[in-house]
Amino acid sequence: MDEIEIPSYFLCPISLEIMKDPVTLSTGITYDRESIEKWLFSQKNNTCPATKQVLMDSELTPNIILRRFIQSWCILHAPEGFERLPTPKAPISKSQLLKLFKDAESPNMQMKCLQRLRSIASQNETNKRCMETAGTAEFLASLIMKKTVEASSAEVSEDVIELRRASDEALSLLYHLHLSGSGLKSLLENNIEFIESLTSVMQSGNYDSRVYAVMLLKSMFEVDDLKQPINLRPEFFFELVDILNDQISQAASKSTLKVLISVCPWGRNRIKAVEAGAVPLLIDLLLDSSDKRASELMLMALDLLCQCAEGRAELLNHSAGLAIVSKKILRVSSTANESGIRILLSISKFSATPGVLQEMLQIGAVTKLCVVFQVFDRGSKTKERAREILKLHARAWKNSSCIPTNLSSLYPS
């Protein structure tokens, strides 16, 4: 095999291996389906790897003529060790999917249909895109909502288990479809009922389903960017706090933090998150966190929650609240620095009692602010916020013996 020269146009430009299922992009370049699907869908690229052109669409056209050439060539060179390539399966059709949706209306057929859909999705990314176009996400979301409602009113435990089993299977499949941005948006738009169903799953679902629910919520909120406030029930925030507290996995915890950050720019949601116990939990987690990204997300969430009086009160009621925020500044990242200084600014502007000002001196928060003011570049927002805090309480802090002499001489006037 090493001595035989393989025609260059038989080789995928990405994998540099013989193409098993050649498909052509709109740019005219042919790739092996598995490689180009990974590039486009798993890695979220929108360009042709060879030409670097931005793709107006991601349609993959089977190059049947080239595939037959490759198959014939492999047969011809079978004595040299080349195996004939099997003809790939055709992508799933919309009519086949619609039939499965129809069959799933029968309770006795639902699990079988869901398992068939999972098998179809696992074959390749093209099937996943076909499934999305055919409305599979809407079908699964509707099934999850229906089963969640039925499970909440079922009286027999065996019925509850079976209903949740169907809901869990549908949710797992929905998550693993890895929907496009438009697909995720359509799930969220005008569909508060679906969010409430995911809240129920977070409350009573199994280990995997709770993770899928919060990770799907994260993806939905990230894509939509939540330009309009969503009126979320208090239970939603209690379940987020429970998942954070359970520390199911790093991925689940980070997704939960991102969901909190997405929904808490609005005051009503902030208060609900605070009432659910988010602030003391975030402080406790921050005390033990050595993960850079997790620490950043916790500080970002605390920053949002400290923009309401209830959140600031919870932070100050925790014996380590101010101390851990101060400690993380200059120890994690520029993102953490920005969030930490913003938290201290909120406290200094709206909750600065004499006791709080004295605590900030004793724990070294004022010294940390002086260092930030000294080392950050002119024009930096973080530097300007540190300056604002120091000037705001100069009378209480400027001449304190708690500030090292080399820093007190640089105190802003």
Per-residue pLDDT for the chain (413 aa), expressed as one digit of tens each?
A: 557 889 999 999 999 999 999 999 999 999 999 899 889 887 889 999 999 999 988 888 999 999 999 999 999 988 888 888 888 888 888 999 999 999 999 988 999 999 999 999 998 888 998 899 899 999 999 999 999 988 888 766 777 788 889 999 999 999 999 998 888 888 887 678 999 999 999 998 888 999 999 999 999 988 866 566 678 999 999 999 999 999 999 999 999 999 999 999 888 999 999 999 999 999 999 999 999 999 999 999 999 999 999 999 999 999 999 999 999 999 999 999 999 999 999 999 999 999 999 999 999 999 999 999 888 888 899 999 999 999 999 888 887 877 777 777 667 76
- pLDDT reported for residue 299: 98
For residue 30, give the H/E element and its range: strand 30-32
The strand order across the sheet containing 30-32 reads 30-32, 22-24, 61-62
Burial 181-217 (b: 16+ CB within 10 A, else e): eebbebbbeeeeebbbbbbbbbebbeeebbbbbbbbb
Q: How far apart are alpha carbons 68 and 227 in whole angstroms? A: 51
What pLDDT is attached to residue 366?
92
The string over 24-55, giving b where at least 16 C-beta atoms fall within 10 Å of a residue's C-beta and e elsewhere, is bbebeebbbbbbbbbbbbeeeeeebbeeeeee
- Looking at residue 412, its pLDDT comes to 78
Q: What is the DSSP string of 247-267?
A: T--HHHHHHHHHHHHHHTTSH
Predicted local distance difference test score (pLDDT) of residue 262: 92
φ/ψ of 395, rounded to 5, equals: -65, -35
User: Is the CA virtual torsion 272, 202, 189, 122 positive or negative?
Assistant: positive
End-to-end CA distance of the chain: 79
Rounded Cα distance, 31 and 12, in Å: 5
Q: Determine the pLDDT at residue 1.
A: 52
Instruction: Provide the 8-state DSSP code for 190.
Output: T
Q: What is the DSSP string of 266-311?
A: SHHHHHHHHHTTHHHHHHHHHHH---HHHHHHHHHHHHHHTTSHHH
Whether the CB-CB separation of 261 and 300 falls below 8 Å is answered with: yes
